[in-house]
Amino acid sequence: MVVEGNYAARHNLRDFFARKGNFSAPNGTFCATSGTGWTCQSAGSRATGKMDTMTSAVAPAIALTIAGSEATGGAGAQADLKTFQELGVFGIANLTCIVSFNPKDNWNHRFVPVDQQVIADQLEATTAAYGAASGAPSVLDTVKIGMLGSPATISTVEKALTDGSFKHVVLDPVLICKGQEPGHALDTDQALKAQILPLATFVTPNHFEAESLSGLTITDEESLKAAAIRIHEISGAAVLAKGGVRLEGPDAVDVYYDGGTLEVLRAPKVGEVAVSGAGCSLAAAVTAELAKGATPLEAARTAKAFVTAGIKNRVSSGAPFDALWQGGALS
């Protein structure tokens, strides 16, 4: 029996009927409840069942992003949620800051932090709803950390990570954004390295961030490998170090290293400029795949393919940079 595109199969059936009452589906099926049972009838066929038989049988995997809002929708929490959804994961966003590009100032970032108590409140609500003690059918054990933006926020998030019981902590160590000058946020950089990096199980530095975290200069694939190895040694995390468009050559090259496997992930460059949301979407795709049970290496491979497709299908705007599109090719 198909009830409204399988909605009921993914939700508590009792809740479904409570919302919809008796209803007619567009294919001519009529569904109703009586007592603890349900009946659906269409021309020539009839199906019955108990209200509890389909309860949350296939709840989706859950993932949380602790990240900033990027108002134009290309990067930040917006990119993370779109990626989670595309990959079949129920996404939750707890916001740390609001970034609004400034078109009157060369599209530089205007950054407003969210109040620390408000960040803590969001984390409290999320934990109560989906944490280990929540009774939720899918427990939240996978979190992505995006832009934190200040030492105060880093301390708030550090507390949530140490209080919580996350199996996977994917850190996109956002030290600068595209368009920002390197060195803009060095105090945050230091706090991120000291307080969040040791808690990460997977880290996705871009070229600048990999140089900053490793202390090495990265000019080619070999030095990117050396940086990935160094960052693993420092953090213990699986590392996906991104060369992207910042290394010469026809391919966008990233290096994965987890202490055992070293793998170069490559895809032909699409254009020669960086695309907004590529780093966020890559780390979010890793997060979604880990939440669904993939190994870190499998998650990295899937994420690379997802981001490459999203860059090919990029969205242009009045801004001087394109945004990644997570939704597949539009015909």
Nearest CA among 194, 192, 233, 221 for reference residue 209: 192
Name the segment binding ligand ADP (CB under 6 A); options: 117-125, 162-170, 223-231, 271-279: 271-279
Residues 6 or more apart from 179 whose CB is under 8 A from it?
101, 106, 107, 108, 109, 321
CA–CA gap between residue 299 and residue 292 (Å, rounded): 9
Residue 168's binding partner out of ligand ADP, ligand PLP, none, with CB under 5 to 8 Å set by partner kind: none
Name the segment binding ligand ADP (CB under 6 A); options: 40-48, 63-71, 294-302, 305-313: 305-313
| Cα–Cα distances in angstroms (integers) from residue 116 to residues 95, 139, 149, 215, 257, in the given order | 10, 25, 12, 31, 34
Backbone torsion region of residue 298, taken as left when φ is above 0, otherwise alpha when ψ lies between -120 and 50, otherwise beta? alpha
- Between 140 and 147, CB nearer to ligand PLP: 147
Q: Which residues are at the interface with ligand PLP (CB under 6 A)?
A: 67-68, 70, 75-76, 99, 146-147, 174, 177-178, 276-280
Q: Where are the beta strands (DSSP E) in 6-159?
A: 23-24, 30-34, 37-42, 45-50, 62-70, 90-102, 108-113, 142-145
CA atoms within 13 A on the CB side of 295: 6
Residue 304's binding partner out of ligand PLP, ligand ADP, none, with CB under 5 to 8 Å set by partner kind: ligand ADP
Residue 146's binding partner out of ligand PLP, ligand ADP, none, with CB under 5 to 8 Å set by partner kind: ligand PLP
Residue 311 binding ligand ADP, by CB under 6 A: yes
Name the segment binding ligand ADP (CB under 6 A); options: 35-43, 101-109, 137-145, 275-283: 275-283
Residue 76's binding partner out of ligand PLP, ligand ADP, none, with CB under 5 to 8 Å set by partner kind: ligand PLP
Q: Can you give the binding site for ligand ADP, defined by CB under 6 A?
A: 206, 242, 244-245, 252, 254, 267, 269-271, 274-275, 278-279, 282, 304, 307-308, 311
